[in-house]
Amino acid sequence: MTDTRIFLSPPDVSEVERKLLLEAFDSNWVAPVGPDLDAFEAQVAELVGVRHAVALASGTAALHLALVAAGVRRGDTVLVPSFTFAATANAVMYLGARPVFLDSTAASWNVDPDLVAQELRARASAGRLPRAVVAVDMYGQCADYEPLLDACDRYGVALIEDAAEALGASYRGRAAGSFGLAGVLSFNGNKIITTGGGGMLLTDDGRVATQARHLATQAREPVPHYEHRTVGYNYRLSNLLAAVGRGQVQRLSEMIAARKETAGFYRAALGDLPGLTFMPIADYGLPNWWLTCLLVDSQKTRDQLLARLARHNIEARPAWKPMHLQPVFRDCVMRGGEVSADLFRRGLCLPSGSALTEHDRERVVSALREG
Ligand SMILES: *Cc1c(COP(=O)(O)O)cnc(C)c1O
């Protein structure tokens, strides 16, 4: 095999980020505090259109603190889409609460808002409302927030937006990450922008931001000696990584444009193949085209395509394995499940990184068209 490996969604960093990183290094702000951290937070808050942004060590940490802000405690329930990455449900478990999993709609692969409304109605009449609902913007496409927020508002339940995959996407003109009590971003290496690892909590609520900042710095009271009234966490992002993030945000629109071009290329080059359907793009918003994913007519064919891509040194992945099918969550309640189970059986995610070249894309397409 002489061809270089094509990754699913590798980091795309440039001279811009390198320069900012070295400047931060030379400034000696080599700590989880500093001017780059402040600037990165301000930049993302402005971009998303929220009042406060708190940079954190990971998207998972941001989810954890968002759930704390929603008041989630031991013994509570939280509604969570089954079709997501495990971090969404893990954060609920950290608090000793239980996720109740809900199926997705085939129309967007996001949580089915009708199921959310049904579950809230049933739980309200049984006097067992969940403490929060988490919606996930899957593969860079927003969930359907109008009906979700309607349902949550009706029962006074907090909504948390897991926008880990969706920075730069929008829903009816409003940016991903701005919905509900708090939004969550991830800057993991495979996300739309990366700091090499990191995350952010976004909110319009000053108290939520202050609490998140406090808990993320070991809940240190603002006095010279070390005073603590609650158990905190060490969740702040490094100033060095924030410097990388500043450069990535500057390049976000060009990186989205590159991913969109790749999505268009795959659609044009594979659209005629029988048995392939691309993830539907709902007309309520604009995705950030994080990953191009499609459904293959059968699991057998999907697995053959995965194997063929692997033989060509191309990284592709099945769609997420739903949480209700994960051994770790086997005791949790699940509502529905056919849609997410089917996405897992037949879903295929293609290399979609913003630095993918024309040649790379052609290699992917010819591997898929072979035979
Ligand atoms: C990546 C991801 C997370 C976790 O983010 P980390 O920064 O890796 O902790 C959470 N939710 C979803 C949907 C993700 O894709």
Ligand 1 atom index nearest CA of 87: 10
Contact residues for 190 (Cβ-Cβ < 8 A; gap 6+): 8, 9, 10, 11
81 and 110 in contact (C-beta within 8 Å)?
yes
Cβ 59 under 6 angstroms from ligand 1: yes
Which pLDDT score is estimated for 3? 83
Per DSSP, the three-state class of 285 is strand
Contact residues for 179 (Cβ-Cβ < 8 A; gap 6+): 135, 142, 145, 148, 149, 159, 161, 171
Which pLDDT score is estimated for 295? 97
Which pLDDT score is estimated for 244? 98
10-39 b/e (C-beta count within 10 Å ≥ 16 → b): bbbbeeebeebbeebeeeebeebebebbeb
Ligand 1 midpoint to CA 202 (Å): 15
Measure the CA–CA gap between 194 and 335, rounded to whole angstroms: 34
Ligand 1 atom index nearest CA of 186: 7
Domain locations along the chain = 15-250, 252-369
Residue whose CA lies nearest to ligand 1 atom number 7: 59
CATH of 252-369, one of 3.40.630.10, 3.40.50.150, 3.40.50.12780, 3.90.1150.10: 3.90.1150.10
What's the pTM value of the predicted model, to 2 decimals? 0.98
Contact residues for 29 (Cβ-Cβ < 8 A; gap 6+): 35, 36, 239, 240
Mutational pocket test of ligand 1: of 9, 88, 92, the residue with most ligand atoms within 8 Å of the beta carbon: 88
Cβ 162 under 6 angstroms from ligand 1: yes
* CB neighbours of residue 285 within 10 Å: 22
Per DSSP, the three-state class of 303 is helix
CATH topology of domain 15-250: Aspartate Aminotransferase; domain 2 (3.40.640)
Cβ 194 under 6 angstroms from ligand 1: no
- pLDDT per residue as tens, the chain (371 positions): 568 999 999 999 999 999 999 999 999 999 999 999 999 999 999 999 999 999 999 999 999 999 999 999 999 999 999 999 999 999 999 999 999 999 999 999 999 999 999 999 999 999 999 999 999 999 999 999 999 999 999 999 999 999 999 999 999 999 999 999 999 999 999 999 999 999 999 999 999 999 999 999 999 999 999 999 999 999 999 999 999 999 999 999 999 999 999 999 999 999 999 999 999 999 999 999 999 999 999 999 999 999 999 999 999 999 999 999 999 999 999 999 999 999 999 999 999 999 999 999 999 999 999 86
Beta bridge partners of 349: 293, 317
Residue whose CA lies nearest to ligand 1 atom number 6: 59
Which pLDDT score is estimated for 371? 65
Cβ 199 under 6 angstroms from ligand 1: yes
Which pLDDT score is estimated for 36? 98
Ligand 1 midpoint to CA 41 (Å): 18
